[in-house]
Amino acid sequence: MEPCQFISKCPMFNKFRNQVVKDFWANSYCENNSGARCARKRLRDAGKGPKDVPITLLPNGMHLAEFEDTERDWENVTGKACMNLRACSVMLDRLQDPESKVFLGRRYCLGSGTQDCQRKRMIDSGTDPPEIAVTLLPNGEHLLSLQR
């Protein structure tokens, strides 16, 4: 599969300091299917120019501002947190960079994002949490595979 034609010059990547976060977006949206799932690329394919695509727009259609509140403790958000969050804390604790931990936690452990979490799917299907690899990230990638 061909990567997105805009991957090398996409300004979104400049907004993240952490390579794990950059790799997450690239692996999930840019490196396969020519970026067909990417909201940014869909705008470009619809005829919008680079300046017409908001810098805050993420490939999943959300905006960066929704993830920027890193000072907020996402584990204490009541009513929205995944019931399995405690079982996944061993994986989240392996992430040394707070930006990555908050990003993945907010993306997969809160609200509707929990339906995309590979770890939650395994637990819901009966896998005992200690049997899940601590390197398995919520997006199904393994932590070691993202550290290039």
Question: What per-residue confidence (pLDDT) applies to 21?
Answer: 78
Task: Tell me, yes or no, whether 80 and 123 share the same domain.
Answer: yes
Query: pLDDT digit string (tens) for 65-105?
Result: 655 444 344 444 445 678 887 788 788 777 766 777 777 87
Q: Is residue 137 located within the same domain as residue 79?
A: yes
| Domain with 116 in it | 74-146
- The answer to whether the beta carbons of residues 94 and 63 sit under 8 Å apart is no
Residue 71's pLDDT is 39
1 within a domain of the structure (yes/no): no
Q: How many domains does the chain have?
A: 2
Residues 136 and 82 in one domain: yes
Regions of the chain short of the pLDDT cut 70:
65-80, 96-97, 145-148
CA dist 123 and 132 (Å) reads: 9
